[in-house]
Amino acid sequence: MSSRTITRADLYEAVYARVGLSRTESAALVELIIKEICDALATGETVKLSSFGSFIIRSKTERMGRNPKTGVEAPITPRRVMVFKPSNVLKARINGLTVEDEEE
């Protein structure tokens, strides 16, 4: 198993190779998609991509935490976090199954 990281440039090239847009148009398309996802998440919307998964914004309340080095307790401020929930299709693909295999 390789630990390769997919970059924006890799996405640009994939769109260029498979869709047939120019490299500039491919880069603009990828950037537009990323911007739309980021804008939706920033406003608290859930982003659901069929057969891939959902990006969900959750609000965390203030709580007490502990510094692991010193053991001193300190409050952790309330914040919003993003979580990713993979679809069943993606989970099956990661595990080398098809969706039908998983249902049996």
Q: What is the pLDDT of residues 46-103, one digit of tens each?
A: 999 999 999 999 999 999 999 999 999 999 999 999 999 999 999 999 998 876 654 5
Query: Looking at the DSSP assignment, which residues form a beta bridge with residue 99?
Result: none
DSSP 47: E
Q: Model-level pTM?
A: 0.76
Starting at the edge strand found earlier in the chain, the sheet holding 53-60 runs 47-49, 53-60, 79-86
In sequence order, what DSSP letters do the residues of 48-104 get, joined into one string? EETTTEEEEEEEE--EEEE-TTT--EEEEPPEEEEEEEE-HHHHHHHTT--HHHHH-
Q: What is the pLDDT of residues 18-52, one digit of tens each?
A: 998 999 999 999 999 999 999 999 999 999 999 99
